[in-house]
Chains A and B, each alone.
Chain A
Amino acid sequence: MMGIGMFELAPAMTEVFLICVAMALLMLGAFRDEEQDTHRFVSSLAIMALVVGLFIVLMGDKETVTTFSGLYVTDGFASYMKALVLLGVAVCLVMTPSFFQKEGVNRFEYTVLALFATVGMLMMISANSLISLYIALELQSLPLYVMTAFHRDQLRASEAGLKYFVLGALASGLLLYGCSMVYGFTGTLSFPGLAEALSPATLGEETIGIGVVIGLVFVAAGLAFKLAAVPFHMWTPDVYEGAPTPVTAFLAAAPKVAAMALTIRVFYQPFGDWVSQWQQIVVFISIASMLLGAFAAIGQSNIKRLLAYSGIGHIGFALVGLAAGTEQGVYGVLVYLAIYLVMTLGAFACVLALRRNGAPVEEIEDLAGLARQQPLFAAAIAVFMFSLAGIPPLAGFFGKFYVFMAAVDAGLVPLAIIGVLASVVGAYYYVRIVKLMYFDETRDPLDQTVGSEYAIVLGIAAVFNLAFCLRPSLLLGPAERAALTLFT
């Protein structure tokens, strides 16, 4: 085994760079004068680093390159997903410092942890073997557990962190067990190796072994936990509600993109020839997630819990595309994730901006009559809600359009019908928020000022949702190219 030269590091340039920045920021924060606002300073530097990382990703080679003895791969698909993750994290960091400042837990370590989690996510996207998959997943998860419990003096945040940690550890165990099963029955850990070992050419007349299938089920369970898909979703509402809101936004955005990228890669590369074996699992998870997301959210009164269930539902919709098992399906998922990311970040920017007498507000009822008080802010929320509900001409409709198209194309018409019906049920609770803002009278007015960083984020996100239909090719082109790289 030769030493690692610069050439071998090149495909992982973004990760290396971000890790170095994270270390440097940790030192900087530790030695900086206590008096100054270290958190904001560190956070700004981290955002800049993420933007640089984004450039490295976008400028980088789109060819498929493996490194670290094949443990690690970068390709067009990875670049697309990494760009989404970096964007999601950067936007979350923009919205974070002022929240923690108001809450009195203004600690710069948060940013460093977020950067470590980001590196974990980027590695998940590039993982090319079951070992790197697991390491990346843990690197992503551990900082997230800490971040969830970051408001350590608050009971519900600590509870959320603990809950997330215990359940997450269980899911990691399942995943690891599944990996060992797969390894035991095939004798290899790397994705290309698995693909070859399981290809019809190698197996000949034989079908895929039952041991491998059981292993795959366990891996799927572990991934479903990270995606917060039913039936591994139980942690989501509690953690979303308990965690500080910027952490909730963080959890809802980038990690889901990374986990979905990993799921796509696992299902399509090692097991790409066995769609029939895993399709029913994904179809079940998808239907269950869509229905639970639609029905369980109706009864929620806390806006973060509502968004948690909404997120479960949206992952269900994205999985509709995955279930198709075709290139068209991956394309649909990629489009869906990008749009989901923007809608979610916009929605959380709204939640973060809601305050009454300086204290955060989380009850849905508190939105009553907002349209009279702050018309533009209410209009932005309404745009996100209609978009999340999938009403055209907003962006959310196009996301659903592409995944349903893939499902119908793959012959999964019943899945698509259940999906659209679930979206009608889901529309009820999104529209209920619009109703509260526009139809009801204010009882107790919210603060009139929306923080400038929130205003910028939700302004951009709202414009994206509204204007997507004008130039959809700006997103569709890259997504299509990214999906294509998995199939060549």
Chain B
Amino acid sequence: MSDWPLLSLVIFLPLAGAGFILLIRGEEEVVNQNAKAVALWTAGITFLLSLMIWGNFDNSRSDFQLVEHSEWLAGLNINYHVGVDGISLFLILLSTLTTLVCIGVSWEAIQVRVKEYMVAFLVMETFMVGVFCALDFVLFYIFFEGILIPMFLIIGVWGGPNRIYSAFKFFLYTLLGSVLFLIAILVMYLQEGTTDIPTLMTATFDPALQKWLWLAMFASFAVKVPMWPFHTWLPDAHVEAPTAGSVVLAGVLLKLGGYGFLRFSLPMLPEASVYFTPLIYTLSIVAVIYTSLVALMQTDMKKLIAYSSVAHMGIVTIGIFTLNPLGIQGSIIQMLSHGLVSAALFMCVGVVYDRLHSRDIDFYGGLVERMPAYALVFMLFMLASVGLPGTSGFVGEILVLIGVFQVNQWVALFAATGMVLGAAYMLWLYRRVIFGDLTKEHLLMIRDLRPHEIASFAPLIILVLLMGIYPALFLDPMAASVDHLLTQTGGLPETELARNPIGEALR
């Protein structure tokens, strides 16, 4: 079993599925059905295989596991090198799950160019999983950038009325950040003669150079996260993208920035990371408070959730730069939780949008009377987004808050303020959409959740609750890797989670 190239299988199986879909010929109706079926099976099998990664994962090891290595760019010491550790493990699972959910969500919603749509999603899955598995900088960059192509097409072809502007903004904004990252990769490669990520993690760079490299990486990751003030592409992209596009954007693509900080900035450029921590804190606090206030004033549901994403990702970046185990574990949990919750919230918007083609908050009201199941699902995710204990959102936020409290109480105070605001805009949104009297005539005939929608929501509901009730299942695999990361960063090696009473209670 262990000599299977499991990771490569998970990376390239979706690509094979996409190639297979391209070969389907015939009547349009039949082709659409077959394309959907092939995509669903491919994504399903990929997800099961990715669960096997978890099954084969050894929690006690802090190094990379399931490593595969083969020669690629001969003579340059740039190789095909993949592996997982506790940090990337769940992000890989999140990617495969999100793709599966996306295909479920699109089952009825996408009626035109179904074949191309499924191909785009499967190609994107390959790139997403590849990004999190890659242990070579060039390989990472190729996957990282490659995502732009399918996402650009998804927003542009299947998006809303202003999709072209949004697609271009998304594409050029993220490309601009990424190319500077490429220069940083080249500089690091020429310094050390390798692009092997584990090797570079042990390399030491000149502190002055580190700052430049750090800023070049920051340009890329800050756009991806997105951090204030580089977030303006996100609301546009979310609003115009089809539901599944928003799901994958919120679910996985936003995690690339956080993952980049964790994987590269901290271990490779530790001095610069410490040096720039105040910058990150400042931008994150602004993001948390300012974008929460902006979210309060939105009239478009998708835009509101998009701004809430920026706020939640602000918590993630604060957690990463606490440079202690609690904060970092919290930020990873927060990334996973945000991936599930905001994806689900976009799906909630998608459910009503598919029925009535409006995302306007004022358009709705009193939906609970016609859609009780929908109201329940929406409530669960709304509360998870707010951070209700028992849901995944709580675990991530509390860990980050404790982590940051140990470092800087002021930052903790401001971050906590953001959470209060978060509760305000989410509860208000929920009240206006779900509660109140059902007076609007166009809502009278609205139908409740349908089976394929429930099937898409089900795994997310289970995971949000599981992560909230039994977080140790997710914290244990990442503990060793996070400790290892901190020794590389020069932070505190001993597991504070174990010594901390609250951390103890969470376990």
Contacts and interface: CB of A to CB of B under 8 A. Distances in A.
Contacts of A469: 142
Given A427-B175, A438-B156, A480-B75, 9 more contacts: A401-B138, A401-B186, A413-B187, A416-B183, A416-B186, A417-B180, A421-B176, A424-B176, A428-B172
B150 to A, nearest CB: 11
Interface in B110-169: 113, 116, 138, 141-143, 145-146, 148-149, 152-153, 156-157, 163-164, 167-168
Contacts of A404: 182-183, 186
Nearest to B130: A393
A439 interface: yes
B261 to A, nearest CB: 21
A391 B146 contact: yes
Nearest to B163: A439
A424 B142 CA distance: 16
B161 to A, nearest CB: 12
Contacts, number: 86
B142 A408 contact: no
Given A391-B145, A392-B145, A393-B146, A408 B190 contact: yes
A476 B156 contact: no
B41 interface: no
A472 B187 contact: no
Nearest to B175: A424
Nearest to B173: A424
B179 interface: yes
B70 to A, nearest CB: 12
B410 to A, nearest CB: 36
Interface centre among B145, B175, B179, by most chain A C-beta atoms within 10 angstroms, is B179
Given A392-B146, A413-B187, A476-B73, A424 B182 contact: no
Contacts of A392: 141-143, 145-146
Given A393-B142, A397-B145, A404-B182, A476 B74 contact: yes
Contacts of B146: 391-393
A228 to B, nearest CB: 24
A423 interface: yes
A425 to B, nearest CB: 9
Interface of B: 72-75, 113, 116, 138, 141-143, 145-146, 148-149, 152-153, 156-157, 163-164, 167-168, 171-172, 175-176, 179-180, 182-183, 186-187, 189-190
Interface in A359-415: 371-372, 375, 386, 391-393, 397, 401, 404-405, 408-409, 413
A408 B182 CA distance: 11
Contacts of A386: 149
A477 B72 CA distance: 12
B123 to A, nearest CB: 10
Contacts of B148: 391
A473 interface: yes
B171 A427 contact: yes
A420 interface: yes
Contact of A435 (B73, B145, B164, B182): B164
Contact of B156 (A375, A409, A427, A435): A435
B189 A405 contact: yes
Contacts of B190: 405, 408-409
21 contacts: A391-B145, A391-B148, A392-B142, A392-B145, A404-B182, A408-B186, A416-B186, A417-B183, A420-B179, A420-B180, A421-B176, A423-B179, A427-B175, A431-B152, A431-B168, A435-B167, A435-B168, A438-B153, A439-B163, A473-B74, A476-B73
A467 to B, nearest CB: 12
Contacts of B180: 417, 420
Contacts of A431: 152, 168, 171-172
Contacts of A427: 171-172, 175
B187 to A, nearest CB: 6
Contacts of A405: 186, 189-190
A65 B29 CA distance: 65
A387 B149 CA distance: 11
Interface of A: 371-372, 375, 386, 391-393, 397, 401, 404-405, 408-409, 413, 416-417, 420-421, 423-424, 427-428, 431, 434-435, 438-439, 469, 472-473, 476-477, 480
B183 A420 contact: yes
A226 B178 CA distance: 33
Give the top 5 A-B pairs by smallest Cβ distance, nearest first: A420-B179, A392-B142, A408-B186, A473-B74, A439-B156
A421 B156 CA distance: 23
A427 B183 CA distance: 17
A472 to B, nearest CB: 6
B172 A439 contact: no
Nearest to A431: B171
A427 B171 CA distance: 9
Contacts of B75: 476-477, 480
Nearest to B212: A413
Contacts of A480: 75
Contacts of A371: 116
Contacts of B175: 391, 424, 427
A473 B138 CA distance: 15
Nearest to B142: A392
A321 to B, nearest CB: 13
B168 A477 contact: no
A6 B240 CA distance: 71
Contact of B172 (A408, A424, A472): A424
Contacts of A434: 152-153
A419 to B, nearest CB: 9
Contacts of B167: 435, 439
B183 A408 contact: yes
A405 B176 CA distance: 18
Contacts of A476: 73-75
A472 B75 CA distance: 11
Contacts of B74: 472-473, 476-477
Contacts of B182: 401, 404, 420
B179 to A, nearest CB: 4
Contacts of A408: 183, 186-187, 190
B355 to A, nearest CB: 25
Contacts of A428: 168, 172
A118 to B, nearest CB: 31
Given A397-B142, A405-B190, A428-B168, A421 B179 contact: yes
Nearest to A331: B75
Contacts of A438: 153, 156-157
B179 A472 contact: no
Given A405-B190, A473-B73, A413 B183 contact: yes
Nearest to B155: A439
A470 B193 CA distance: 22
Interface centre among A386, A423, A424, by most chain B C-beta atoms within 10 angstroms, is A424
B455 to A, nearest CB: 30
A472 B164 CA distance: 34
A439 B164 CA distance: 7
A439 B73 CA distance: 36
A165 to B, nearest CB: 40
A41 B116 CA distance: 41
Nearest to B74: A473
A462 to B, nearest CB: 13
A421 B178 CA distance: 10
Contacts of A401: 138, 182, 186
B179 A424 contact: yes
Nearest to A375: B116
A476 B77 CA distance: 13
A428 B172 CA distance: 7
A404 B179 CA distance: 11
B176 to A, nearest CB: 5
Contacts of B189: 405
A91 B176 CA distance: 35
Contacts of B142: 392-393, 397, 469
A424 B152 CA distance: 15
Contacts of B149: 386, 391
Nearest to A422: B179
